[in-house]
Amino acid sequence: MARITVATDALTQGQFPPVCCKTGVHTDSYTRIRFVETPGWTWILLPFGFLPFLIARMFASTEFDGVLPMSDAVGRRLSTLRRIAIVSGLAGIASMIGGLVAWGWVVAGLSLLAVAAICIVAGTIMSPDARRDLGRGSVEISSVHRRFVETIEAAWAQRGIAP
């Protein structure tokens, strides 16, 4: 996958050519995506326990929205993964609670929670990522298709803008 650095305004306003950021095909669909930035220092807390790690990530993370061109098929896949993760996660928690009565429910609950975790990881891998540089007023978009990057760079070249 490719990456490109663009102006923050371009991402927040969706000022990109109509090329899907994940597949590189023409699309007229633009999707609002919520990006989460978490500082790398939070990983230092993991050896001290999962709970301190989660609390630090919760308070140190910032969120921002962006608009990217995304084909309907990619949007449907991401939505499906999100729904499966939510349903299997809730069913897994309910099964774990049911496991207080019968051991078989614990196994089912763990299996459903594993499905939820796999869907969350797959969705994270499939989604584009963005990291802001507030000082420069730019954002680096990564995990995007090479053709998406080439189309933006070609548009810049036509306008005489240096990448």
Q: How many domains does the chain have?
A: 2
State both tokens at 27.
């699309």
- Model confidence at 16, pLDDT cuts 50, 70, 90, reads very high
Q: Are residues 17 and 60 in the same domain?
A: yes
Q: Are residues 50 and 3 in the same domain?
A: yes
- Model confidence at 138, pLDDT cuts 50, 70, 90, reads very high
pLDDT at 163: 61
Question: Tokens 């730019």 map to which residue?
Answer: 138
Q: Are residues 96 and 134 in the same domain?
A: no
- Model confidence at 148, pLDDT cuts 50, 70, 90, reads very high
Distances (CA, A) of 31 to 35, 100, 143: 12, 42, 16
Q: Are residues 62 and 4 in the same domain?
A: yes
Q: Are residues 58 and 87 in the same domain?
A: no
- Over residues 67-77, mean pLDDT: 95
Q: Are residues 65 and 78 in the same domain?
A: no
CB within 8 Å of 30: residues ≥ 6 apart: 14, 16, 67, 68, 69, 70
CB within 8 Å of 154: residues ≥ 6 apart: none
Q: Are residues 115 and 132 in the same domain?
A: no
Q: Are residues 15 and 59 in the same domain?
A: yes
Domain span at residue 107?
A: 73-127
Is the model's pLDDT at 50 over the cut of 90? no
**Average pLDDT of the residues of the chain:** 91
State both tokens at 101.
């009565």
Q: Are residues 53 and 79 in the same domain?
A: no
Tens digits of per-residue pLDDT, 22-44? 999 999 999 999 999 988 899 89
pLDDT at 9: 93
CA 78 to chain CA mean position, Å: 9
Q: How far apart are CA 25 and CA 116, in angstroms?
A: 29
CA 11 to chain CA mean position, Å: 14
pLDDT at 7: 92
Q: Are residues 110 and 38 in the same domain?
A: no
Q: Are residues 160 and 121 in the same domain?
A: no
